[in-house]
Structure 1
């Protein structure tokens, strides 16, 4: 027998609380102590872990859900569950900790269905695509990134029974809007309204219809809500008005930031505009640009002090690190945070002298507006409240709930704001809220190996390529080539080749041919299976492997449209190869039972393709389901299913994709 007793002197800091190991009893073991008001860091690991509460009271926070903890409570955490223990009482909270590695259990947890992986359960899931700047319409670079990603993610989660909503809007108060308005001879409000409507129309052409689309300048509740949020930041004591260095046009005296100033990035040295570098993702203060130039006069600016509300962001490294331990934060974003916090000082202005935007309610902020990027942090909460009114839910921007799950899709050039600045602002405005946020970031999509650019008019616009006949092909091509983890290039010739050779020449040819064989041998009805061969069972298993791969590719941890699109094409490639091999027995009487099984398995593959393609290619999924005599199901498949014998099949003449020379329109 081995005896161990709790000894406070053996405790040392670990995971944000006090821990002491208990060696020699088999599994890993230890004592944990949490001081009143204290809490552990949010963390997850591959071990299975058990807490036994011995003394004190508190709460266990697991993937956003709180559970009371008191003496006698025994809690087991599965591998990879994000968990926190918090002391809500007046005396220390003491618990005994057991943990061990179970490779099979960890593998099962990692491979669990994505809807179960983080146990979304009944939590509301708010999926945000970065609100676009209404200084132009959307091009394929925009569409391939946040908007397609958020749309597919939301569709997939809903198919898995999750309450998920897609939210976005138009970021009306950007300085880029005012700059475009000046060039076009319009007011900023007119420019924003015009392009906001164009953007919404382009999203609809892409079959992206957000559940909430907030037009910031047109929402009458928005300005006061934003002002209240900003006043919370000021009331925290961390955001104060102070005189800090700024740039001004040497000729006109205009204040310079963002689009109206350029120079070399102080971080990577690449050319950049004011306030953020698109290459390395680091912020700048404009005054630290190398060889700055005013975009108004082309001259070097003069330097002078400007009174602005500023945030000493350099003081909040620990806040950002704690936030990054809670949700899905790609290494690219954590590395960016490391670079930013190597700076000794980063006094970040949160207001700027300007006329276009929302002015704070603070009396000493005359002539200033709230910078649009901190504004966006509030805008996300406002969008949730607006959606809540539509759904008759009691969500409030001024009272964010711990149960909320937020998922952000954005381009890498917005990484600093989303993953560093906003967590700090939320902590200051709502100290008791720990936002549970997953981040999905894309790189730049290139055209002719240069960045798509609204301002330079270097783009293929969504409206130039999207139609009811092309939308699924465009969505599939963008899913397959979008810039995940690396920059990729849109090639119009490659798109046309994929459409003609893959979608029409392979997918549609197989489906129409399958229909012809069903017509000829089974009177347009799905056959029942007959005799199974080892090749049949191997093919069924191969389809199951494809289903698992697609499921993981669309889930919240391993989300990748590149992989999902590849796996969809893999279903067709596997099936075409299988059909080619099995066709050798077609028409041979002694093997008719085996031939029936092969045809039934091809129909099972078509059924699987219809359901798995639905998040990426919704029209194709509906059309294929209809041709298979199936309803437009809203559920994600739990396995490979045979088409019920006797089901009427109309694959032969169904047009799924149209080439550039086709004049007819497929039924929707």
Structure 2
């Protein structure tokens, strides 16, 4: 979200005890012309109601304004203000979108620029709750303000995924090497996908617990599912086609329908697919 100096309570210098030096800096903001339309499009793009509500609160608190520049020198430079203070671009999500489209056009020029309003390319962006304001309120508002461009068509969002009950963090030297769990343990890649799909943090924070993963692999998969598959294979008569019991058809059709709905671009849910 935006950080406003006037919101600080009893500000103190980060180092030493010298008095703070206040500097007036001009920033650029973009006013969202139609906030309700913006929120409606977020909902139809696949953002869950809880995240749309985050954006709604942000727009209300900021009076419909999205910050475009911030004071400082770290980042993509913008022209200094009238006092000579350096400024950088604050809202980088739209730059990310345009850069992705530029790279895509380089690789597949026949599809054109994906972020143009005239484009027939379907675009999707995936991000966590901590980037919701940046990529939804900021990027969508800026892209809407550009005459010939549009934002991403669909969004795939998630909340935080903890590790052993604590925040998964690079500052704690946590890093994901996707192949390690398969190459260095007896677990298969399918087992990992199965567990991660079950625990997907789509509607709220979830947790990867090693002991629970081991139990799911040993009990649910190797213990139960593998045994049922072996039993089914053993009873098959491979010399002639097998028919499905008519009593099972309704349940099978419902499961296939739910699986298809779980991968609709405006409502992706790997948890639902797992179920």
CA distance in 1, matches of 2:164, 2:18: 32
Deviations 1:282-341 (A, max 9, x none): x323542345566x6387983522535421x4x32x433223333324322332233223
Deviation at 1:425, TM superposition (A): 1.1
The aligned residue for residue 242 of structure 2 is: 529
CA distance in 1, matches of 2:66, 2:138: 12
The aligned residue for residue 285 of structure 1 is: 4
Deviation at 1:490, TM superposition (A): 1.7
Matched, 1:369 2:88: yes
The aligned residue for residue 223 of structure 2 is: 505
Aligned residue runs from structure 1 range 326-337, under 5 A? 326=41, 327-328=44-45, 329-337=47-55
Q: 1:473 to 1:351 in 2, by over 3 A?
A: same
SS of the aligned residue for 2:113 comes to: coil
Of 419, 422, 428, 2:136 maps to 419
The aligned residue for residue 403 of structure 1 is: 120
The aligned residue for residue 378 of structure 1 is: 95
CA contact (8 A) 1:382 1:397 kept: no
Of 292, 306, 321, 2:36 maps to 321
The aligned residue for residue 72 of structure 2 is: 353
The aligned residue for residue 556 of structure 1 is: 265
CA distance in 1, matches of 2:197, 2:17: 43
Query: Paired residues, what number?
Result: 266
Of 252, 257, 265, 1:543 maps to 252
Deviations 1:548-595 (A, max 9, x none): 1111112123321111112xxxxxxxxxxxxxxxxxxxxxxxxxxxxx
Q: 1:515 to 1:353 in 2, by over 3 A?
A: same
Q: 1:344 to 1:464 in 2, by over 3 A?
A: closer
Bigger strand fraction: 1
Of 156, 174, 189, 1:471 maps to 189
Gaps of 5+ in 2: none
Gaps of 5+ in 1: 1-275, 277-282, 567-668
SS of the aligned residue for 1:354 comes to: coil
CA contact (8 A) 2:124 2:154 kept: yes
Higher relative contact order (CA 8 A, sep 6+): 2
CA contact (8 A) 1:404 1:436 kept: no
TM-score (norm 1): 0.36
Matched, 1:455 2:171: yes
The aligned residue for residue 490 of structure 1 is: 208
Q: 1:511 to 1:395 in 2, by over 3 A?
A: same
CA distance in 2, matches of 1:475, 1:541: 27
Of 442, 445, 449, 2:161 maps to 445
CA contact (8 A) 2:76 2:89 kept: yes
TM-score (norm 2): 0.79
CA distance in 1, matches of 2:117, 2:252: 43
RMSD across aligned C-alpha pairs, in angstroms?
3.3
Of 177, 198, 202, 1:480 maps to 198
CA distance in 1, matches of 2:253, 2:66: 54
Matched, 1:389 2:106: yes
CA contact (8 A) 2:69 2:89 kept: yes
* Higher Rg of the two aligned structures: 1
CA distance in 2, matches of 1:397, 1:537: 47
CA contact (8 A) 1:287 1:303 kept: no
